[in-house]
Amino acid sequence: MATVFERVVTATGEKPAFAPGDRVKVGTRSPIGHYRVPQYLRGQTGEVLKVIEPSLIDNEEEGYGRNAGNRRHYYRISVPMPSLWPGYEGSPRDELQIEVYETWLERAA
Amino acid sequence: MIPETSPSDHDHDHDHAHDDHAPVVEGRPGYYDMMETAVRELFIEKGLITAGDIRRQIEVLDSRSPALGAAVVAKAWTDAAFRSRLLENGRRACEELGISFYDDTDLIVLENTETVHNLIVCTLCSCYPRPVLGLPPDWYKLKPYRSRAVVEPRKVLAEFGTVIPEDVEIRVSDSTATVRFLVLPCRPEGTDGWSEDRLASLVTRDAMIGVIPVTLPQEASR
């Protein structure tokens, strides 16, 4: 029997969708505006290292003065350098670590 | 964009001698200089901020320098409990020491080890751990470093004289929004028993960006 605490229902987006170890793919969208996802990262697949807590004001929205309630989960992910850059010279274990907002991530296989 | 011109803009295919002692003559302000002045004056005129607020903020920025970061690193080298708190939550550990995060950024401290070397960059602009290091060097803000650090970090490091062995993993951290990074370099050998102050004197800005290791003075001059 679930306790009263276990029956608490959280609002949409209140809990992070991804956890450390999850494989995620960065969106390939190209919206116009203040976006904090470098072009080289779009479409890439990586692994979640950490959920940055607490959730943060989405500065992609804040850049236009729309910051009321726009808190977003923010993740530190790692991407192997050789998968980012074909012909990468260096150790195959070299990697990029970068933070991405949840709105840009989808679950990858 | 308004072209930037000044009285000193001229070709150098003439033969007059320049006077090295002439006072610096500032030309017409550039486009962004004028925009900054206009926005600043408007904000003050509308009572959103005061001239004193701006002066105070400059004082805040001027009070931050690599000496703060060096003190943090030296403390982490000598105090294991602080080191683990620093790696767990960089901002909170720095706040313990009295370093405020006036820009409301977070701080992830990246530990260099025998098997991992960290390098920090901001490919989108010039995000930098200003609360603990002050203003970034010019090269950190310029395109060549920003674009190459993520693509060919080993070549970039080699240009700083830092050759990372193949069996050491390179981790490049690219700042995108509210998280900043500080590299915790490896403590050099031969520093057993050194005081925090003496250790801090070895730690340079570039080592905390991750482009060089921390070395003893005699090693650096070799």
Minimal Cβ distance to A91: which of B170, B174, B176: B170
For residue B58, pLDDT beyond 50: yes
A90 Cβ contact partners less than 8 Å away, ≥ 6 residues apart: A81, B152, B153, B154, B166, B170
Task: Spell out which residues of chain A touch residue B104, defining contact as CB-CB under 8 Å.
Answer: none
Reported confidence tier of residue A66, pLDDT bands at 50, 70, 90: confident
In chain B the beta strands, taken as DSSP E runs, fall at 106-111, 116-121, 169-174, 179-184
Query: How many Cβ atoms are within 10 Å of B135's Cβ, its own excluded?
Result: 16
* Inter-chain touch B169–A100, beta carbons under 8 Å: no
Taking CA atoms, B63 is separated from B55, B71, B136, B138, B201, in Å, by 13, 14, 14, 19, 18
Residue B100 is a catalytic residue:
no
Structural tokens at position B167: 């069996």
Sign of CA dihedral A7, A13, A15, A17: positive
Which candidate, B207, B60, B197, places its Cα nearest to that of B134? B60
Give the span between the Cα atoms of B144 and B150, in whole angstroms.
11
Q: How many residues does chain A have?
A: 109
| Region of residue B47 (phi > 0: left; psi between -120 and 50: alpha; otherwise: beta) | left
Which candidate, B102, B106, B105, places its Cα nearest to that of B86? B106
Which candidate, B213, B205, B222, B124, places its Cα nearest to that of B168? B213
Q: Which of A30-44, B37-51, B150-164 has the lowest mean pLDDT?
A: A30-44
3-state DSSP helix/strand/coil % of chain A, to nearest 5: 15, 35, 50
For an interface test with B, the pick among A39, A74, A79, A93 (most B C-beta atoms closer than 10 Å) comes out as A93
Fold exhibited by the domain B66-220: Nitrile Hydratase; Chain A (3.90.330)
**Bridge-partner residues for B184, per DSSP?**
B111
* Inter-chain touch A94–B124, beta carbons under 8 Å: no
How confident is the model over A49-74, as a mean pLDDT?
82
Q: Which of A9-23, B159-173, B191-205 has the lowest mean pLDDT?
A: A9-23
Taking CA atoms, B33 is separated from A16, A44, B23, B36, B188, in Å, by 43, 39, 21, 5, 44
Residue B125 is a catalytic residue:
yes
Give pLDDT, residue A58. Answer: 79
Structural tokens at position B65: 């320098």
Burial bucket for residue B190 (CB in 10 Å: 0-12, 13-18, 19+): exposed
Q: Which domains does chain A have, with CATH numbers?
A: 17-107 (2.30.30.50)
DSSP A8: P
ipTM: 0.85
Q: Helix, strand or coil for residue A71?
A: strand
What confidence tens digit (pLDDT) does each residue in B167-216 have? Answer: 999 999 999 988 999 999 999 999 999 999 999 999 999 999 999 999 99
Query: How many Cβ atoms are within 10 Å of B137's Cβ, its own excluded?
Result: 15
Give pLDDT, residue B83. Answer: 98
For residue B9, pLDDT beyond 50: no
Give pLDDT, residue B20. Answer: 64
Give pLDDT, residue B19. Answer: 60
Which candidate, B175, B121, B112, places its Cα nearest to that of B149? B121
* Inter-chain touch B124–A38, beta carbons under 8 Å: yes
Which candidate, B70, B133, B76, places its Cα nearest to that of B101? B133
Is B127 annotated for ligand binding? yes
Residue B94 is a catalytic residue:
no
Q: How many C-alpha atoms does A15 have within 13 Å on its Cβ side?
A: 7
Give the span between the Cα atoms of B36 and B42, in whole angstroms.
10
Q: Where are the domains of chain B?
A: 31-62, 66-220
Give pLDDT, residue B210. Answer: 98
